[in-house]
Amino acid sequence: MNYENAIEYIESLEGLGSRSGLKRIKALTERLGNPQEHLKFIHVAGTNGKGSTSAFISSILSCAGYSTGLYISPHLQRYNERISINGQEISDEELFKYTWRIKNVIDEMVKEGLEHPTVFEVITAMAFLYFYEKGCDAVVLEVGLGGRLDATNVISDSLVSVITKISLDHTEILGNTVAEIAYEKAGIIKQNGRVVTYPQEKAALDVIESVCRQRNAELYCADPGEFEKAELSPGLLHLVHPRYGNIETSIVGVHQVYNASVALKTVEVLRQAGFKIEDGDVVKGFKTASWPGRFELLARNPDFYIDGGHNPDGVRSFVETYKKIYPDRKATIIFGVMKDKDYDAMLRELSAISKRFIAVTPDSPRALDAGSLVKVMSKYCKNVEFSDTIEAAVEKALSDATGEDVIAALGSLYYIGQVRGKFQISAQK
């Protein structure tokens, strides 16, 4: 097996779909020697913001001198992105070696009549094994979906459970109310553990507090009001904090002020747990943190952004941020979405900042086709069209743009990675 074979094998497992439950991951990790039992985790769940919050925390720990693993999903361009240590992705060679080892174990499991693990479970187990064998001091572990029955919740303990903003998404799986979804997210809270939460709406916070009482866990609530100033500009968020002074990050957004406060509260809790994190490590950690595909500025004049917002709440945050940076400018919006998403509400939010919509079809069997999307777009904008390919949509948006224009591609992580790749290729030419 080589790297290409490994990717082919991993992609072949996508057909198994996403299935909740811990039975398969437990069977797999047991046969690998339960590497997760030898690691220290910062476990991060939430509807929106868990990725950028994870990026902040892992970067701060790395700057403090700790060998820090980061596990995320999904990836934008390559599976390697999901598993990294101190900002360095797992190499192609290591990815195929670990895939080969795990495939052999799974083949034995299937021979014994056990159910085949899903692709997310396979990569999660791979991450545990990789982080353990590389001797990580800490691992920032992002939940895939929900929390209670997510494969990452096979871990028996964590240094701290972090819960970012909870809102409606994946309602067909997690529940139809914020309270029901909060119960699933709160499933990562451990007995006698520590919990950091985003300033949730009451329905979500009530559930989190209830689970903390049941499990005798100590709850810490983040306070975005601790920042004395927050300023947004293209590609930069500047914060002023009474303890840390000037904090700058390229992870931009109105909502990132909240995520930054969650990261700072988590740092406080980790210090209580014995981690030595200097104030300078915190400032440097924010400065060097990277979270591609989230209000990410790919080019200037015209300014071209990509954003992974794929539910109404995520899109609302994008719009709020856009209005702060470009109060007097409307944008060309390239939009592609999965058919199980509330795309009508997302387009309604985007209509406040758009002068033109270009519909695309993401490369996924779950994607809504661009032709159907155009019909919905027409409710909210007069200037609407679609492109046969994502590359053609980008070219179309750029072809008649001036240096003062703003273009943004969003709606689904399934295609913004392709947009990002196009700009990377152009930059290399």
pLDDT at 169 over 70: no
pLDDT of the residue at 175: 67
Measured distance CA(210)–CA(208) in Å, rounded: 5
Residues 6+ apart with CB under 8 A from 223: 199, 261, 265
Which candidate, 324, 147, 300, places its Cα nearest to that of 231?
Answer: 324
Q: Where are the alpha helices (DSSP H) in 64-118?
A: 92-111
Continuous segment of H or E residues that includes residue 392 = helix 390-399
Please report which confidence band the pLDDT of residue 384 belongs to, taking 50, 70 and 90 as the band edges: very high
Give the start-end residues of each E strand in 350-400.
354-359, 384-386
pLDDT at 311 over 90: no
Output the six-digit token pair for 3. 């790297």
Instruction: Please answer whether residues 85 and 134 qualify as being in contact, where contact means their C-beta atoms are separated by less than 8 angstroms.
Output: yes
Lowest mean pLDDT of 134-148, 201-215, 268-282, 357-371, name the range. 357-371
pLDDT in tens, 27-77: 999 999 999 999 999 999 998 899 999 999 999 999 999 999 999 998 999
Instruction: Please answer whether residues 97 and 129 qualify as being in contact, where contact means their C-beta atoms are separated by less than 8 angstroms.
Output: no
For 59, 219, 282, the CA distances from 265, given in Å and listed in that order, are 15, 11, 11
pLDDT in tens, 248-265: 999 999 999 999 999 999
**CB count in 10 Å sphere of residue 93:** 11
pLDDT of the residue at 167: 83
* Mean pLDDT of the residues in the chain: 93
Measured distance CA(235)–CA(225) in Å, rounded: 23
Instruction: Please answer whether residues 125 and 32 qualify as being in contact, where contact means their C-beta atoms are separated by less than 8 angstroms.
Output: yes
173 or 360: which leads in pLDDT: 360
Give the start-end residues of each E strand in 250-322.
296-299, 303-307
Sign of CA dihedral 247, 249, 252, 255: negative
pLDDT of the residue at 424: 75
Chain-centre distance of CA 382, in angstroms? 33
Domains of the chain: 3-288 (3.40.1190.10), 296-428 (3.90.190.20)
Measured distance CA(188)–CA(186) in Å, rounded: 5
Measured distance CA(343)–CA(347) in Å, rounded: 6
Phi, psi of 309, rounded to the nearest 5 degrees: -55, 120
Measured distance CA(257)–CA(374) in Å, rounded: 34
The pTM score is 0.92
pLDDT of the residue at 411: 87
pLDDT in tens, 81-102: 999 999 999 999 999 999 999 9
Strands 194-197 and 354-359: unpaired
Write down the residue that tokens 């437990």 correspond to.
Answer: 26
Instruction: Please answer whether residues 108 and 117 qualify as being in contact, where contact means their C-beta atoms are separated by less than 8 angstroms.
Output: no
Please report which confidence band the pLDDT of residue 296 belongs to, taking 50, 70 and 90 as the band edges: very high
pLDDT of the residue at 363: 84
Please report which confidence band the pLDDT of residue 428 belongs to, taking 50, 70 and 90 as the band edges: low
* Amino acid identity at 25: I
Instruction: Please answer whether residues 332 and 342 qualify as being in contact, where contact means their C-beta atoms are separated by less than 8 angstroms.
Output: no
Q: Where are the alpha helices (DSSP H) in 3-69?
A: 3-12, 23-31, 50-63
Instruction: Please answer whether residues 164 and 49 qualify as being in contact, where contact means their C-beta atoms are separated by less than 8 angstroms.
Output: yes
pLDDT of the residue at 425: 64
pLDDT of the residue at 140: 98
pLDDT at 172 over 70: no
Output the six-digit token pair for 158. 């964590």
Phi, psi of 410, rounded to the nearest 5 degrees: -160, 180
pLDDT of the residue at 80: 97
